Structure 1
Amino acid sequence: MSRRNRRIAGAAVVGACAVALAAPALASPTQSSDSSSSNGYGNHGHSPRNVDVQILSFNDFHGNLEPPGGSSGRIQTGPLATDTTDVGGVEYLATHLAQARKGHRNTVTVAAGDIVGASPLLSAAFHDEPTVESMNKLGLDITSVGNHEFDEGYKELQRLQKGGCIDDGDGANNQNSCPDGVFGGADFKYLAANVVVKKTGKTILPSYSIKYFGNGVKIGFIGMTLKDTPNIVTASGVAGLQFNDEVATANKLVPELKRKGVNAIVVLIHQGGIPPSGTPYYYTCGGGGTLDASSPIIPIAQKLSPAIDMVISGHTHQPYVCNIPDPAGKPRLVTSASSFGRLYTETNLQYDTRRGDIVRTSVDATNLPVTRIVPKDAAQTALITKYKTLVEAIASRVLGQITTDVVKAQNAAGESPLGDLIADAQLADPSTTTGGKVPVVAFMNPGGVRADLVYNAQKYPTEQPGDVTFEEAFTVQPFNNYLVSMDLTGQQIYDVLNQQVTGLNAASSKILAVSKGFSYTYTKTGTPGVVEGSVAINGTPVDKAATYRISTNNFLSDGGDGFAAFATGTNKFFGGLDIDAFANYLESVSPYTPGALDRITLQ
């Protein structure tokens, strides 16, 4: 496909936007870092001393080697909800990137974190080694770390970079490192500029990487994750680490890069923005659109050194190409390519060989869909086939049946059918009972519910409609979190519930799933929080002075997602894995039909 045809194909889905204070938004879904006219290819004032450079980027791949299922594998490309295109799958992503590189002598492929973690079983069953191998074949050059790169701890992240095998008992916890006996690690470079070991003050991985092209062209890439990673990752995954401020970290590295003769600098950061609520997926900057003012990337981008020429972001799983002015008031592009390999960003720019820097007015970016109408990449197909064969015995096991779709979408109060099911499974799990103390309520974080259970989703030859396989269950809960029981006072339970809509969650509520028999009412107006006296267990009001045994996962137990009250629980006891509790419960209640959403009431 020609470059111009690719550009047209991507025009409807780019999600480009301008930020308030930026230069006037362009009507086109592509966007340049300057509001002056352009031919769409970054050839602003081309002169012999200027060299064309292409940057291809994506983010939040999360081990999605196969095309995402259901609605996650479609994007809206027109004004109607039915105007959709099937996208994603690494076999197609590899082909699109290979086609995009044609005709570009100077090209680099980069990413902005969460390449692994929260992955489908095909990758997670092998500690995400398949995804690393896939990225090697894909031609990824550099990526920042994301929060999910810490799911299994930073030592495991370092192993993914360097290679080597885990002695995991050949399949302990449904995982198996090095099924072929060897793992060579990542050919691409992981960057973690703002993550240091507390004891030594040294970064766990390099802070930046310099890409040398030819003709003296060189670009420095600084890679970082969001400084709030400890709040959204299990404490054991970040133990002993310090996550520094993103702006201070990047700005401190600018002089160091300049001393090495590198003036062209791009930041890869696992933090992002959010288009306004209610806008369609193909939201563009036409008409002066903006990112939501609460977008965490805005204050970061506004404070990064003017010497930084572009920001490639992630984490929020949103598509956008935005102008956010630097501290000198000059427009600067900030991009993100959605998630799961459904889009990629093509950025074309010119490098001034005399100044040794990027011509800022030439930077031109477009988000493009990873359609499935191109040939599959043969190397990726072979890799997927290999691991599908290895994982099938685990993946195809039927756990139970559902009578209809069980979805993770929350109602207005924040309750969901799938959240109810998972919370009920955790409450029923006997592994958290200790000393005769049985939990009376279970809490589940909504961000840990990753996919729907779909009634008609038959993948294996013997699978019938309504069957739920281990693979499907794992896709719903891919973190291998442990269940934890603990004692909380009634007051601490109130505190937990109030923290859903206050503190770190004030701007964006996180309503926990709760098990059957537990009920309460809360409000977001006036003084946000739980309505006094409404919290009850099996109809009996919770006494703030009494002590209750509760169950949750180790992520929440450590205070994750802004729920500090869980961290204050006492007499904590670690049980089994959440996926095992889910699997066992589903087997016991099959065929399962979702009940009424009546546990949580919004006043």
Structure 2
Amino acid sequence: MTSPKIRALPLLTASLLAACAAPQASHQTSSVPGPQAAAGPVEVGIVAINDFHGALEPPGQSVNVKQADGSMLPVPAGGGAWLASAVDSIKALHPNHVVVAAGDLTSASQLASSLYLDEPAVGVMNRLGLEFNAVGNHEFDRGPKELQRLQSGGCEKNGRLDPCQLEQFKGASYKYLSASTFKADGSTLFPATGLKTFGTGASKVTIGFVGLSLKSVPTLVAPEQVKDLTFGDEAEAINKAIPLLRAEGADAVVVLIHQGGKTPVGDPNGCDGFTGDIQPILDKLNPGVDVVVSGHTHWSYVCNYKPANGGAPILLTSAGVYGELVTDITLKIDPAAHRVVSSAAHNVIVQSTPYKASRGEIANTDAFPRFAPRADVAAYVKQYKDASISLVERPVGKVSQAASKSDGAESGTGGTLGNLIADSQLAATRGAGAQIAFTNPFGIRASLVPAADGQVTFGQLYAIEPFGNELVTMTLTGTQLRAVIEEGLDDEGPMQVLSPSAGLMLRYDPARPSGKRIVSLTLNGKPVSAAANYRVSMVNFLAEGGDGFTTFAKGTQRTRGMIDVMAFEDWLKAVPVREVPQESRTVKVGK
């Protein structure tokens, strides 16, 4: 059958190679019929996303774009149906195309997706034509068995929530890739690589994909969820895959990796000042990688990255978060020389609907295209939204004003919302003797913007704390308390200043040597004593050493408490109007 669209043919799976458990491969061949004699390079469009996080509806966030006068223009963006239209618009530009993702499509999701185990997030991805997705860290939040159900389908119950509540779940039509995630027998959890072929005869070209998560997954999810898995070195896994893909006919190699970096705010297509944990990985890559689609940091950038090892430049992209952007990548491939002759990319803002933010109404703009929601995806999402609406819209209390999570350069601090959450967790664990509570800024997923009368809904609280973590109260010495705070301030990974409850005051200096950055630490006006014991509360993810706060795992006399979002609700509804604490509890000093 001749068609301007790519036609999918049967899936082929390669066997494991020898006892060293070389990466498994997922192969699929698609063809747009072409002339037998190649007239020149063949153009292929790669449509790339990352970190969708079950954002079925517009997330009430914007992409900030710096204007000529230095001001920032916020562009409201995101939402599954709008993303589908944006993807379609890019597909229309490329008769040869493939849709890929760099992980975290599920979990830390909107309530309408999370209540249904992210089955609707997978459904949205199926409908926009995704073909390959690298596993991220949040894909493991419910454990590998549940992740495998998302791939294969079915209604087996693997946790607290019931699957298949609204539909018989058929699973992902796309393929998860996990080149660096190994089971006990040494095989990869999912195939390491995939191939897609375009055209026929002399115009035939093939792109090979290698997909993988970041090595630090065990520090980013509850340890018991990944206790039977091993996460290997990222560059090693990619380098192993390159010759295998080339041997199987790949003319180009594209890496899908759930790791990334950041640039200064304001240019979703810029690369100036780029830095991040993906750099050491890129610097160790062998020749042969043409494009790296990245994620994890929720940042947007397009870079022509020059590896430190002197290798050829690599096109590096990331499309932010929540479907607010999608990357349009164009490769021109010489089918005779079996190589990429040119590559380019730009991020497309998925402008959707206006919303109310803490700073006022964020309106649409004519500076960027507006997308209409794709009707079939909007109807599909509406089924899940309607089913969850009573819970989403349930009032839980009032607040005095908006409470914002910190963004941009301050994303590693909790802001006023961090204060409010930590206070709620301290109040919920006073019965266990808690004197201090901490929340991690990276776990705060949205700002709190009340209605005009201050009213807050459960759906808003869930958007802020979507993980369903339990509170844990433990005993730490003063020395351990200082050590765990220093772990957030050190040079291992991005800086994350724990948000404390009322009464704890921290002054720190990032210019001091790593591990010695606390300037002062007081509780209720008195210095924290190294020898004293303190009862400290946090969510179970932190209590088990998550996000690199390993000292928490050494705490003793543990008491488990309620779910974090329930503690937040109880704190708000305990008074007619809950005041949002405005004081700065963590203060950066020095230059």
Coarse TM-score class (shorter-chain normalised): 0.7 to 0.9
Q: Check if 1:213 corresponds to 2:198.
A: yes
Match of residue 21 from structure 2: none
Q: How does 1:307-318 map to 2 (within 5 A)?
A: 307-318=288-299
Alpha-carbon distance, 1:329 to partner: 3.3
Match of residue 40 from structure 1: none
Alpha-carbon distance, 1:166 to partner: 4.6
Alpha-carbon distance, 1:498 to partner: 1.9
Match of residue 75 from structure 2: 85
Alpha-carbon distance, 1:140 to partner: 0.7
Match of residue 33 from structure 1: none
Instruction: Provide the C-alpha distance between the structure 2 equivalents of 1:83 and 1:452, rounded to a whole number of angstroms.
Output: 19
TM-score (normalizing by structure 2) = 0.84
In structure 2, stretches of 5+ residues that fail to align are 1-36, 353-369
Which of 65, 82, 88 pairs up with 2:56?
65
Q: Check if 1:105 corresponds to 2:95.
A: yes
Which of 529, 551, 560 pairs up with 2:546?
560
Alpha-carbon distance, 1:502 to partner: 1.8
Q: Check if 1:182 corresponds to 2:168.
A: yes
CA distance 1:142–1:598, shift in 2 (3 Å): closer
CA distance 1:319–1:573, shift in 2 (3 Å): same
Q: Check if 1:403 corresponds to 2:386.
A: no
Match of residue 421 from structure 2: 422
CA distance 1:558–1:413, shift in 2 (3 Å): closer
Over residues 383-440 of structure 1, what are the superposed CA-to-partner deviations in whole Å (9 max), with x where a residue is unaligned?
A: 111011110121111110012111122889945211111111111115x85xxx4211
Contact 2:510 2:517 (C-alpha < 8 Å) held by counterparts: no
Which of 122, 146, 160 pairs up with 2:150?
160
Instruction: Provide the C-alpha distance between the structure 2 equivalents of 1:328 and 1:602, rounded to a whole number of angstroms.
Output: 38
Instruction: Provide the C-alpha distance between the structure 2 equivalents of 1:274 and 1:415, rounded to a whole number of angstroms.
Output: 19
Contact 2:261 2:297 (C-alpha < 8 Å) held by counterparts: yes
Match of residue 347 from structure 1: 329
Match of residue 306 from structure 1: 287
Instruction: Provide the C-alpha distance between the structure 2 equivalents of 1:282 and 1:503, rounded to a whole number of angstroms.
Output: 26
Over residues 35-77 of structure 1, what are the superposed CA-to-partner deviations in whole Å (9 max), with x where a residue is unaligned?
A: xxxxxxxxxxx961532211111111111111121xx234325
Contact 2:51 2:320 (C-alpha < 8 Å) held by counterparts: yes
Alpha-carbon distance, 1:146 to partner: 0.9
Match of residue 370 from structure 1: 350
Residue 574 of structure 2: SS of its match in structure 1?
Answer: helix
Instruction: Provide the C-alpha distance between the structure 2 equivalents of 1:477 and 1:559, rounded to a whole number of angstroms.
Output: 18
The count of aligned residue pairs is: 529
Over residues 97-140 of structure 1, what are the superposed CA-to-partner deviations in whole Å (9 max), with x where a residue is unaligned?
A: 11221253311000111111211112111111110000001111
Which of 53, 64, 84 pairs up with 1:75?
64
Q: Check if 1:248 corresponds to 2:248.
A: no
Over residues 151-175 of structure 1, what are the superposed CA-to-partner deviations in whole Å (9 max), with x where a residue is unaligned?
A: 1112111111111225489xx5xx5
Residue 363 of structure 1: SS of its match in structure 2?
Answer: strand
Contact 1:78 1:282 (C-alpha < 8 Å) held by counterparts: no
Q: Check if 1:391 corresponds to 2:388.
A: yes
CA distance 1:362–1:64, shift in 2 (3 Å): same
Match of residue 291 from structure 1: 274
Instruction: Provide the C-alpha distance between the structure 1 equivalents of 2:519 and 2:65, rounded to a whole number of angstroms.
Output: 44
Instruction: Provide the C-alpha distance between the structure 2 equivalents of 1:549 and 1:227, rounded to a whole number of angstroms.
Output: 32
Contact 1:67 1:73 (C-alpha < 8 Å) held by counterparts: no
CA distance 1:323–1:153, shift in 2 (3 Å): same
Over residues 213-272 of structure 1, what are the superposed CA-to-partner deviations in whole Å (9 max), with x where a residue is unaligned?
A: 331322111001111222222212322211111110011112222332334211101111
CA distance 1:379–1:511, shift in 2 (3 Å): same
Residue 98 of structure 1: SS of its match in structure 2?
Answer: helix
CA distance 1:591–1:264, shift in 2 (3 Å): same
Seq. identity, %: 39
Residue 64 of structure 2: SS of its match in structure 1?
Answer: strand
Contact 1:309 1:358 (C-alpha < 8 Å) held by counterparts: no
Contact 1:497 1:529 (C-alpha < 8 Å) held by counterparts: no
Instruction: Provide the C-alpha distance between the structure 1 equivalents of 2:46 and 2:411, rounded to a whole number of angstroms.
Output: 41
Q: Check if 1:501 corresponds to 2:483.
A: no
TM-score (normalizing by structure 1) = 0.82
Please identify, of 489-498 and 326-335, the stretch whose mean Cα deviation from structure 2 is larger.
Answer: 326-335
Over residues 308-341 of structure 1, what are the superposed CA-to-partner deviations in whole Å (9 max), with x where a residue is unaligned?
A: 2211111122221111235563222111112211
Q: Check if 1:526 corresponds to 2:509.
A: no
Q: How does 1:538-557 map to 2 (within 5 A)?
A: 538-557=524-543
Alpha-carbon distance, 1:282 to partner: 4.7
> Residue type of the partner of 2:196?
K
Instruction: Provide the C-alpha distance between the structure 1 equivalents of 2:162 and 2:402, rounded to a whole number of angstroms.
Output: 31
Q: Check if 1:381 corresponds to 2:385.
A: no
> Residue type of the partner of 1:452?
S
Match of residue 440 from structure 1: 435
Contact 1:95 1:375 (C-alpha < 8 Å) held by counterparts: yes
> Residue type of the partner of 2:48?
S
Q: Check if 1:319 corresponds to 2:310.
A: no
Q: Check if 1:449 corresponds to 2:444.
A: yes
> Residue type of the partner of 2:449?
V
Alpha-carbon distance, 1:499 to partner: 1.8
> Residue type of the partner of 1:481?
N
Instruction: Provide the C-alpha distance between the structure 2 equivalents of 1:565 and 1:59, rounded to a whole number of angstroms.
Output: 31
CA distance 1:307–1:499, shift in 2 (3 Å): same
Please identify, of 128-137 and 476-485, the stretch whose mean Cα deviation from structure 2 is larger.
Answer: 476-485
Q: Check if 1:336 corresponds to 2:318.
A: yes
CA distance 1:185–1:221, shift in 2 (3 Å): same
Match of residue 588 from structure 1: 574
CA distance 1:328–1:549, shift in 2 (3 Å): closer
Which of 456, 467, 485 pairs up with 1:479?
467
CA distance 1:565–1:82, shift in 2 (3 Å): closer
Instruction: Provide the C-alpha distance between the structure 2 equivalents of 1:89 and 1:532, rounded to a whole number of angstroms.
Output: 41
Contact 2:211 2:257 (C-alpha < 8 Å) held by counterparts: yes
Instruction: Provide the C-alpha distance between the structure 1 equivalents of 2:576 and 2:63, rounded to a whole number of angstroms.
Output: 30
Alpha-carbon distance, 1:450 to partner: 1.2
Instruction: Provide the C-alpha distance between the structure 2 equivalents of 1:254 and 1:482, rounded to a whole number of angstroms.
Output: 42
Q: How does 1:23-62 map to 2 (within 5 A)?
A: 48-62=39-53
> Residue type of the partner of 1:315?
H
Contact 2:62 2:74 (C-alpha < 8 Å) held by counterparts: no
CA distance 1:471–1:291, shift in 2 (3 Å): same
Contact 1:219 1:265 (C-alpha < 8 Å) held by counterparts: yes
Instruction: Provide the C-alpha distance between the structure 2 equivalents of 1:592 and 1:50, rounded to a whole number of angstroms.
Output: 63
Contact 2:269 2:302 (C-alpha < 8 Å) held by counterparts: no
Over residues 506-534 of structure 1, what are the superposed CA-to-partner deviations in whole Å (9 max), with x where a residue is unaligned?
A: xx321111112223333323346678894
Residue 365 of structure 1: SS of its match in structure 2?
Answer: strand
Q: How does 1:128-139 map to 2 (within 5 A)?
A: 128-139=118-129
